[in-house]
Structure 1
Amino acid sequence: MLPRPPGPEDDAGQLLRHALIHCDVAGAEAAALLLLSQGCPTSALYDLHVTPVLGEIGSAWERGDLAVWQEHAVSDCARSLVARLRSRVRLSGSRPGRIVLLPGPGEGHVLGLQMAAHVVEEAGWDAVVLDRMPITQLAELIAARGDVAAVLVSGSGAMGRDRLQRSVQDWRRLGTGVPLVLGGACTGLPDVADWGADAVLHGLDDLVERLRSVTTPLTPRETDVLREAARGLTNEEIGGRLGLRASTVKSHLEHVYAKTGVRDRAASVAEALRRGWIS
């Protein structure tokens, strides 16, 4: 079960795997930071390096190759790693809103949600991971806060599948106006796209784009125009790149000004960046 000790020829991914399996939090943090410094996105760090190890450990426990305390020790190590990495995120005083993450009905694990919260915070939002709670209670909490941009519910689908689907439908009936995103293994179910969620997440790599797509009031074309404007291009140059007339570009920008609440290009770009509508 336990691999050989890592040597100088091992890459950072192997070092991270070895540290996690041996419950070496400091070693796991050092390896993770090395991966990140080499250009590995945080989403890939979790999707490609941490989650597979947890899957291996879980399978080993199911086969009887590991005691439950050993499986828990590795999970605790991963949890500590995520907490350490999240603590390095610099939270600015001005953020575009809060993303609420919580497990679906019948789910008890939130480690994957903690990883997602880290990715969310790096993208500029605040993130809070909650324990399970009824949809009606969650709606009341969101209404009281007033700063929630989206809700991410994660479910395996194996436990509480019907309840999870009903929760999505109940969310729709409550009319909170807050987008609901589904994540976790339940997204592999054949009919999940028909449940009524605003977006379905298939991995951390597309988490930020999915959240931006459901939280931005900008149309796809307005987003394209604003991204080009952020590069300092003129209306004519933007039109040339996007195949639009300069007058059409101007019209799109005027719509953007109205949605961002400002009246000039630089301020509109700055506001859209602050809210996470463009990057």
Structure 2
Amino acid sequence: MSTMTLQEAADQLGVHYMTVYRYVRLGRLPARKVGGTWEVDPSDLESLRRGHDRSVRPKHSADWAKRLEARLLEGDEAGAWGVVEGALASGSTPAEIYTGLIGPAMASVGERWHAGELSVAEEHLSTSVVLRLIGRLGPRFARKGRTKGRVVVTTPPGERHFIPSLMVSDFLRGAGFEVIDLGADVPVEALSGIVEGLDGLVAVCISSTRVNAERAVRRVVKAANKAAPDVPVLLGGASIQDADHASTLGADGYAKDAPGAVEVLLELVSG
């Protein structure tokens, strides 16, 4: 038998059909929908059977990330959120969901798309589900109390990927900063208009993932420096190699990822 239906899988396990369906939605049992019917690999079912009790709470974030990736590629928002809820119930924080689940899952999707394993439609479908997950997780980063200052988070013109900037924004909110997130593909003039004269501004963070975007990044850094000469500009993202690279583009600092951005800004405001 090459594959089996959910009902056949339920019969094998001796459980109700809806129980197996829930396993699929929670990412416990890998499955793919073919012609409107879920299909299960018998080897995956056997793995579930052998580790039935242990599979509810994976020990490693990589396991959760794989489960999440499977739900993203199916466009299964409810199932993806079920994976997130499972990880939260296991003790993961919202920040760890971003760095240990969503980040790795989307990185894998991107790599598989570049390798030709996934279609553009599958990549876009995964992105749309992740955006909704972030929308639900974002409020959990909200923090009461006095703000540590305002931070503008933006991207260069032509940048289409703004999931990294969304995650940076939430991390900064969780650290006590007030964030103005401008989203993707931000015109330089728009950034200047926001930054100029903004009270309490402590930094401008620019996220860049697009290859060959150095010219656009330099324009954004220059515009931010002109609009707010005394405000430091930080660079990060997949297209920024390291601190030296960020410096050559005119930036005052570099952050490898969202936790790194928090670390740099906390040092900035405390110093």
Q: How many residues align?
A: 216
Aligned equivalent of 2:252: 198
Corresponding letter in the other structure for 1:51:
G
Aligned equivalent of 2:17: none
CA contact (8 A) 2:152 2:205 kept: yes
The alpha carbon displacement at 1:95 in A equals 2.3
CA contact (8 A) 1:106 1:159 kept: no
Cα distance in 1 for residues equivalent to 2:142 and 2:252:
29
User: Which is further off, 106-115 or 130-139?
Assistant: 130-139
Aligned equivalent of 2:157: 105
Cα distance in 1 for residues equivalent to 2:187 and 2:176:
27
Query: RMSD across aligned C-alpha pairs, in angstroms?
Result: 2.9
Cα distance in 1 for residues equivalent to 2:153 and 2:104:
21
SS of 1:205's partner is helix
CA contact (8 A) 1:104 1:153 kept: yes
Aligned equivalent of 2:13: none
Aligned equivalent of 1:4: 30
User: Which is further off, 98-107 or 173-182?
Assistant: 173-182
User: Which is further off, 31-40 or 120-129?
Assistant: 31-40
SS of 1:128's partner is strand
What is the aligned counterpart of 2:84 among 32, 37, 55? 32
Aligned equivalent of 2:122: 70
Cα distance in 2 for residues equivalent to 1:195 and 1:159:
12
Structure 2: gaps of 5 or more residues: 1-26, 32-43
Cα distance in 1 for residues equivalent to 2:69 and 2:186:
34
Aligned equivalent of 2:181: 129
The alpha carbon displacement at 1:183 in A equals 1.1
Alignment of 1:75-86 (within 5 A): 75-86=127-138
CA contact (8 A) 1:23 1:77 kept: yes
SS of 2:151's partner is strand
Corresponding letter in the other structure for 1:95:
T
SS of 1:185's partner is coil
CA contact (8 A) 1:119 1:208 kept: yes
What is the aligned counterpart of 1:151 among 189, 199, 204? 204
The alpha carbon displacement at 1:36 in A equals 4.1
Cα distance in 2 for residues equivalent to 1:188 and 1:122:
26
The alpha carbon displacement at 1:98 in A equals 2.6
The alpha carbon displacement at 1:146 in A equals 1.7
The alpha carbon displacement at 1:102 in A equals 1.3
Alignment of 1:33-72 (within 5 A): 33-72=85-124
The alpha carbon displacement at 1:84 in A equals 0.4
The alpha carbon displacement at 1:41 in A equals 4.8
Aligned equivalent of 1:180: 233
CA contact (8 A) 1:186 1:192 kept: no
Percent of pairs with identical residues = 24
Cα distance in 1 for residues equivalent to 2:93 and 2:235:
22
The alignment's TM-score, normalised by the length of structure 2, stands at 0.67
The alpha carbon displacement at 1:175 in A equals 4.2
Cα distance in 2 for residues equivalent to 1:77 and 1:21:
9
Taking CA–CA contacts closer than 8 Å with sequence separation of 6 or more, which of the two structures ends up with the larger relative contact order?
A: 1
CA contact (8 A) 2:152 2:204 kept: yes
CA contact (8 A) 2:141 2:174 kept: yes
The alignment's TM-score, normalised by the length of structure 1, stands at 0.65
CA contact (8 A) 1:89 1:122 kept: yes
CA contact (8 A) 2:151 2:179 kept: yes
CA contact (8 A) 2:188 2:219 kept: no
The alpha carbon displacement at 1:69 in A equals 2.0
Cα distance in 1 for residues equivalent to 2:169 and 2:87:
19
